[in-house]
Every structure is written in structure tokens, then in C-alpha cells.
Structure 1
């Protein structure tokens, strides 16, 4: 659905049908998805310019527009990027479509099982956790209900990384959203494989425990370090980057 919102071609009929239902309720969802992707590009660029040379993109989904390695390569050609997803189809597609250059790797893993994810051979072979790494959790945590212990999972990832590592995070919110269409939108996702769990600003900020937020902190996605690149300033989520203490 995310790829469809972005205007990509790597999606399926069921994705398109569900996405169209959401667009009928929230017509600006496609623009909001593009705003989230623009945040990803800016945050990844920030990490690369800061000197980070390892990127662990968890919940990467189907390869879509403006992938992490495409943003990183012009700044740091030797940087390593590991894409992780728990969906077999997404992993298979990614392995077919992404470059086989020895620096871009796809692994099967689940954020809900961080120890298994961290122990995956592909992850261990390409990420040196004694050096700074950027952990990307972009538009993924709002698919994990509290029963899945998402805060503990993020804390486990934090503890596995070296000081100076980064957490790049974006999260859907309903702060300020009207209640009736919000319920209709949630119903669409409830019928999918990944029911959606929006969180408030305070609840999202908890994921950054143990990190020092870089300016401007946890902000609306369109407001996080805008770089003059033209994009519509429509946000339905918060985004931020934290530095591991």
C-alpha cells in the first residue's frame, strides 16, 4: 500500500484496493506518504554526512521510491545497507530488485523478535555493532500494538549498538485528526495483515529513551530539517533522529 501511495509499481491488486479505500477516507494519504519518504531521505542523508557507514533498515517492505542505498551512495559509496522485513514476498522481491553489489543485503527478520534479527547471519556479516550504525524504523512501529512490546524491542536494538549510533524513526499519529474518518481508516487496516496503531507525541517520544534527540527533536515529518526540496507539507506522523548515548 505504501509503494502504491508513492506512485511505485511494486504492489499487488489487494494492496491497491485497500489503498484506494483509505484514499477515499483520507485523500491526502498519498501526499503524507511522500512526506514520510522525504523525511527518510533527509534523515539518511544526515546520518551519512555525520559519518555513519552502516544502515539497518527494519521493516523496509517492498523496494520502492528513494531507497536508503540510493540516498547513501553519492555521499558514502562504501556504506553498507541491510534491509530487513518479515514478509516473505517483500524479501523475495527485494532480493530480485536490489543491486547485488556486496554492500546492499536483504535479510528476513521480525522487529518483534529483536534477538533473532540481530543474530541473523546476513545482519552479522554486514553490520559491525562495535561501530556506529543507523537503525531505521520508518513507518513501521505503528503496526506493532503494545502487546508486541515495541518499546522493549527498540530498547534491545539500542543496547546492541555502539555509542554514537542513530535511531531514525517515524510514526503515525492521530493527534489533531477528526474521529469519524479516523475510525473508518482503521477499519481498512484492521482487515489487512497489519492493523494500524497510531500513537501520540508523548508515546512516540518514549522510543527515544537512551538517545539524545537531534534538533528539532520529535517533530511533524515535514518540519524535520526541511532542506528546500519541494514537497507538500502534509504530515500524519512524527519523525526524529536520536544519537545513542
Structure 2
């Protein structure tokens, strides 16, 4: 095997599919390896992963646009993975090039790669931290330097909470971020569910387990408490393909995720 790029960790990272690189591949990006492409092509025969990821990214774009329309100019993207096609700062900077964005992930290769990609953009930074540790995230040099937590901010938790187990207390986790931001800040949240297509959700959980990044699907009743303290923008907590879908119609209606955008009271 040739020497890996310098942003790739040498701890077996090339030997197994990586969730961030898989996501990049499903979105048509180029920041992935043969092991990721082979795994992705195999799983797409079992479950419509590419379509589901693309729906999630479309929801993210629409949600960011809603935040921008409300005057938000700062974004904290938790568990972002590689900021590939259609990422937050690209969407935001089309409206206002001065928007400030901090991406957060705890996978070393993802962080190293992303920092290389973003090094020439002074308004964007990438923090290496575990989203389950709000103090580490909010106290990171990137957040402290790039964002002003005394002004409204959008906290993005898109497709990341399924990686947070029940024992990690997801409701308390979201509340910690809510309590750290000022009134008028926004929360963008999406979450895997088995409420609609349980067979697809089960297949996704099986696929994720093979990447060493297991996920959990939660019912609406378990997702609603995550939104406590936020007033939801219309149309509320709905399948991601239905959240303001008139602004960007989805190709197909397959979804196994809820989505919502809320404003802190």
C-alpha cells in the first residue's frame, strides 16, 4: 500500500470504512478511499443509504437558510464529519461571506483532513472534540476564537444524536448546549427513527455497526424532549423530507429521520 495522505491516521484507519468518509462518498465527494467506496456500494444494495444521506444534507441546507433568514450569522456544526459538498459555510457564505462557522468532530483523520481543506478560510475553523463533552467543545480554541457566544448562534445537531447512547443522556446533552447559548439562538436537529420504515432503520443500524460507529433509532416521543426550551419553526418536528420541502423538493420520499429547527426562548 502506498503511504497514506498525511491527514490520515496510521492506526488502521485505511483498513475499515469510516462513517465520515462514507457520508462524503454518498454525497458525491472525493474525500474517501477504496475501502469506503466498496463498503458503500455493497450497502446501497441493501438500503438506500445514498438517498437517505442526500435527504439529510438537503434538510441541513434548508435549515441553514432558515437560520440565515432569521439573522443568524454564526454556526456550530456538531459531529460534522468532513465538510463536503453543500456544507454549512458554503450555504452561509452565499448569503453573507462574513458568517462564522466552527465544525466539530472527534475523529483525528477527519479533523486533520478538514483543517487542511479549511486552512485558507479565516471565518471557518474545525475543532477536535467529542460532542458529548459540551465543556470541551465550547471551551475549544476554535469556538472561543471564531464564535461569540454572547450573540445568537445556530447549533447544528444533524444526524449526530443517533450516535449518542441512552446512557450518555442525550436530553441533558442537548440541554447543556441550549443553556450555553443566548436567547434567539437556533437549534437544528435531525434524528434517525423507526417510526416510518422500521425495516430500513434496522438495516441502517446494522450497516452502522459494521463501521464501528453504531447508531440508535428513537421514536418521536423520545425525540420531542430533546427540543425542550425551543419554539419550533413551522412545520415543527416532521420527516426531514417534509421540512419546508417546497423550497427544495426531494427526489423520492424515502426517509427514516425526523427534523426540526427551534429558537431558544
> Which of residues 28, 31, 45 is equivalent to 2:65?
45
Gaps of 5+ in 2: 1-21
**Equivalent residue of 1:48, what SS?**
helix
> Which of residues 193, 206, 209 is equivalent to 1:173?
193
Deviations 1:123-149 (A, max 9, x none): 111111111000001111111111122
- 1:204 corresponds to 2:227: no
- 1:193 corresponds to 2:206: no
Report the counterpart of residue 18 of structure 1 in structure 2. 39
Gaps of 5+ in 1: none
Distance 1:21 1:243, change over 3 A: same
Q: Give yes or no for contact 2:106–2:128 (8 Å, CA) kept in 1.
A: yes
CA distance in 1, matches of 2:63, 2:207: 30
Deviation at 1:83, TM superposition (A): 0.7
**Equivalent residue of 1:74, what SS?**
helix
Deviation at 1:80, TM superposition (A): 0.5
Report the counterpart of residue 62 of structure 1 in structure 2. 82
**Equivalent residue of 2:215, what SS?**
coil
Deviation at 1:182, TM superposition (A): 4.7
Q: Give yes or no for contact 2:62–2:247 (8 Å, CA) kept in 1.
A: no
Deviations 1:122-179 (A, max 9, x none): 1111111111000001111111111122221111000000000000011111113244
Report the counterpart of residue 75 of structure 1 in structure 2. 95
> Which of residues 95, 102, 106 is equivalent to 2:122?
102
Q: Give yes or no for contact 1:63–1:93 (8 Å, CA) kept in 2.
A: no
CA distance in 1, matches of 2:163, 2:43: 16
Q: Give yes or no for contact 2:165–2:216 (8 Å, CA) kept in 1.
A: yes
CA RMSD of aligned residues (A): 1.6
Report the counterpart of residue 213 of structure 1 in structure 2. 232
- 1:234 corresponds to 2:254: yes
Q: TM-score, normalised by structure 2?
A: 0.87
Deviations 1:180-236 (A, max 9, x none): x65444233223221011111221122101111111001111110124434313222
Report the counterpart of residue 113 of structure 2 in structure 1. 93
CA distance in 1, matches of 2:162, 2:213: 9
Report the counterpart of residue 24 of structure 2 in structure 1. 3
Q: TM-score, normalised by structure 1?
A: 0.93
Q: Give yes or no for contact 2:77–2:101 (8 Å, CA) kept in 1.
A: yes
Report the counterpart of residue 130 of structure 1 in structure 2. 150
CA distance in 2, matches of 1:175, 1:126: 38
Higher mean C-alpha deviation, range 2-11 or range 45-54: 2-11
Deviation at 1:115, TM superposition (A): 1.0
